[in-house]
Structure 1
Amino acid sequence: MTPSLILACLWAVAANLTAMLPSRDNHWRAACALTALGIPLLGYVTYENGPWIGLLVLGAGISVLRWPVFYLTRWLRRRPGGGD
């Protein structure tokens, strides 16, 4: 297993452990931190393993951070000229 996939697995474990802890802000700070770490990590995984593995890791990240992605798409649709 490549170092980038090991780091991606550690990111997924950290995300799941963070989700189990109680939080006053509904985990938004943790989601921002995980996103800030996950985007460069996704680039590293894609660079080292190719685009198909990168897409699989992207799908795994979206499944973990589904609410920030949901709110981002809702915000993009509300913008003038953003959809519909």
Structure 2
Amino acid sequence: MMTSILAICLWVLLAFVMQLIPSNDHHWRRAYVLIGLGIPLLIWVTWQSGPWIGALGLLIGGMVLRWPLIFLYRWVRRKLGG
């Protein structure tokens, strides 16, 4: 149980370190890498620790990657005609 939670903590630490390094594309490539790493980690922590800890991990991931979620929300709203 603790290894999956430790992996999520390391993922958050990696996200904050990646944020400190300057980028030409406003950190979008790094966001894609974090999403690619975060989805398997989220599945792992949910499988190992249960749905409540998985929901907490999803909330933490959403707080770290808030701009991709905002743009996804805007895109879906635009496609649905809202």
Deviation at 1:20, TM superposition (A): 1.0
Q: Which has the higher contact order (CA 8 A, sep 6+)?
A: 2
Task: List aligned pairs for 1:39-58, cutoff 5 A.
Answer: 39-58=39-58
| More helix by percentage | 2
Q: Which segments of 5 or more consecutive residues in structure 1 lack a partner in the other structure?
A: none
**Length-normalised TM-score, structure 2:** 0.95
Residue 2 of structure 1: aligned partner: 2
Which residue of the partner structure matches residue 20 of structure 2? 20
Two-structure CA RMSD over aligned residues (Å):
1.1
When residues 45 and 24 of structure 1 are mapped into structure 2, their CA distance, relative to the original with a 3 A threshold, is same
CA distance in 2, matches of 1:57, 1:19: 19
Map of 2:59 onto structure 1: 59
CA distance in 1, matches of 2:81, 2:60: 26
Measure the CA separation in 2 of the matches of 1:41 and 1:9. 10
| Runs of 4+ off more than 4 Å | none
Number of aligned pairs? 82
2:69 maps to 69
Q: How far apart in 1 are the matches of 2:36 and 2:75?
A: 19
